[in-house]
A and B are shown apart, each in its own frame.
Chain A
């Protein structure tokens, strides 16, 4: 297999590794770099559990080649948290937003992207922002409530 060297910033730190051109970013993050917050759900871009932030925008890491992020910047939930829970996570906790939690990292990143753009989004905008993050436990209401709660 042909390997190529890539360099990128992951959660504020430089990463340098060898990847083959067919490796998927999600798999590299989880299996080679031990970053476990992005999950593999549908593996085709529909469910949003693999969401990461690439150059400031949420993307589906299951649909990104690892080699594409050469010289780019990636943030996952691990990077967002730093040393503790973010206010958004606190709000999710308070509102009992999640049950199994599988979708949580993706939803936290999508909501973070939204709040970075608009600090007081309407309910409709919240729904639009997380439409691509499927949750099979909550029915979404407590998730949306928590985001609204934080912005009030």
Chain B
């Protein structure tokens, strides 16, 4: 592994963690480790200190109070899938979490880790952008809450500042809503997204649409939202919206898919996701977790 002498700490208190960070040259936070350990092995990062946050109790918090969901930085995708709070208030988070990697990864990997690694094909990015989530951090300058749209600034680049730790994510409930997460992989199970998409259908047919894996950062499709907001969804409206997808996203060709295929599938996924979100809002539609592709 790295030539740098590596140290490890597992503090029980947040202040202790911040103190260790401030005294280290190149500290890295360890949650599930499913990205970090791999990045260390690949030589992409060379930490001198690993701070394991699993010992800090508040990081395991998953709660829904005053219409706001809080997902602590230590909450794993498996915990999100099993959570009654999530099933009841945000079933799309469970729908999404079930598509992340494989079970053995989901047992360790955290949603916060996913958005801190911020690789363009991450599944959690579009979710947070669509819900206007806040990323809560604490650091030498105190606490901050960063809107998800401002969090992602490039491939593997976030708005985190030196010495900061992400405590968790806060998502305000938009009230009763239908939602749908659609992910395109090469096969079912374990694959990274070629395109992913989340659609929220709120009351009065207000929509939130966000795409992932088709640009360096998650795309909030505001032109599409403006077009369809307040309207009854018809085939011709969907056709019109699909034309806008070409203006909203900028997929590339890579090892997993061509840009043409991604663009083509983004439109199909949008149509199916939109129909599912609307029918779920109205109490019908496919059950959460059903693959629409």
Binding site for B on A (CB under 8 A): 1-2, 4, 20-22, 24, 43-46, 48, 51, 54, 57-60, 62-65, 67-68, 70, 110, 113, 127-129, 131-133
- Please, how many angstroms separate the alpha-carbon atoms of A64 and B40 in the complex? 12
B1-14 interface code vs A (CB 8 A; 1 in, 0 out): 11001111010000
Report yes or no: B33 in contact with A65, Cβ–Cβ below 8 A: yes
Cβ of A133: which chain B residues have Cβ within 8 Å of it?
Answer: 102, 104
Contact partner of A128 (CB less than 8 A), chosen from B78, B98, B107, is: B98
B190: interface (CB < 8 Å): yes
Cβ of A129: which chain B residues have Cβ within 8 Å of it?
Answer: 103
- Please, how many angstroms separate the alpha-carbon atoms of A127 and B188 in the complex? 9
B41: interface (CB < 8 Å): yes
Report yes or no: A110 in contact with B33, Cβ–Cβ below 8 A: no
Contact partner of B189 (CB less than 8 A), chosen from A24, A51, A62, A132, is: A132
Report yes or no: A48 in contact with B102, Cβ–Cβ below 8 A: yes
Contact partner of A51 (CB less than 8 A), chosen from B37, B38, B52, B104, is: B104
Cβ of B38: which chain A residues have Cβ within 8 Å of it?
Answer: 44-45, 63
Q: List 30 A-B contacts (CB under 8 A).
A: A2-B7, A21-B7, A21-B50, A45-B101, A45-B104, A48-B104, A51-B104, A58-B107, A59-B107, A60-B34, A60-B104, A63-B37, A63-B108, A64-B37, A65-B8, A65-B33, A65-B37, A67-B8, A68-B30, A70-B10, A110-B103, A110-B104, A128-B98, A128-B189, A131-B102, A131-B189, A131-B190, A132-B104, A133-B102, A133-B104
B165-197 interface code vs A (CB 8 A; 1 in, 0 out): 000000000000000000000001110000000
Report the tally of A-B residue pairs with Cβ distances under 8 A: 85
- Please, how many angstroms separate the alpha-carbon atoms of A20 and B5 in the complex? 10
Contact partner of A64 (CB less than 8 A), chosen from B1, B10, B33, B98, is: B33
Q: Number of B residues contacting the other chain (C-beta, 8 Å)?
A: 29
- Please, how many angstroms separate the alpha-carbon atoms of A21 and B139 in the complex? 25
- Please, how many angstroms separate the alpha-carbon atoms of A43 and B102 in the complex? 15
Question: What's the nearest-Cβ distance from chain A to residue B46, in Å?
Answer: 11
- Please, how many angstroms separate the alpha-carbon atoms of A127 and B30 in the complex? 30
Cβ of A110: which chain B residues have Cβ within 8 Å of it?
Answer: 103-104
Contact partner of B34 (CB less than 8 A), chosen from A4, A43, A63, A113, is: A63
B160: interface (CB < 8 Å): no
Report yes or no: A45 in contact with B103, Cβ–Cβ below 8 A: no
Q: A48-B104, A59-B108 known; A132 and B190 CB under 8 Å?
A: yes
- Please, how many angstroms separate the alpha-carbon atoms of A149 and B267 in the complex? 42
**Chain B residue with minimal CB distance to A62?**
B37
Report yes or no: B6 in contact with A22, Cβ–Cβ below 8 A: yes
B105: interface (CB < 8 Å): yes
- Please, how many angstroms separate the alpha-carbon atoms of A43 and B40 in the complex? 12
- Please, how many angstroms separate the alpha-carbon atoms of A65 and B276 in the complex? 42
- Please, how many angstroms separate the alpha-carbon atoms of A17 and B262 in the complex? 50
Cβ of A67: which chain B residues have Cβ within 8 Å of it?
Answer: 8
- Given A60-B108, A68-B54; 19 other pairs, CB 8 A cutoff: A2-B5, A4-B8, A21-B8, A22-B2, A44-B38, A48-B104, A60-B105, A64-B37, A64-B108, A65-B33, A65-B50, A110-B103, A113-B103, A128-B98, A128-B103, A131-B102, A132-B101, A133-B102, A133-B104
Report yes or no: A132 in contact with B8, Cβ–Cβ below 8 A: no
Q: A128-B98, A132-B101 known; A22 and B40 CB under 8 Å?
A: yes
**Chain A residue with minimal CB distance to B32?**
A63
Contact partner of B41 (CB less than 8 A), chosen from A1, A44, A131, is: A44
Q: A22-B6, A68-B33 known; A127 and B105 CB under 8 Å?
A: no
The 6 closest A-B pairs by CB, nearest first: A132-B102, A131-B189, A21-B8, A57-B107, A58-B104, A63-B37
B43-77 interface code vs A (CB 8 A; 1 in, 0 out): 00000001010100000000000000000000000
Cβ of B188: which chain A residues have Cβ within 8 Å of it?
Answer: 127, 131
- Please, how many angstroms separate the alpha-carbon atoms of A21 and B108 in the complex? 19
Cβ of B41: which chain A residues have Cβ within 8 Å of it?
Answer: 43-44
Question: What's the nearest-Cβ distance from chain B to residue A65, in Å?
Answer: 7
Cβ of A62: which chain B residues have Cβ within 8 Å of it?
Answer: 37
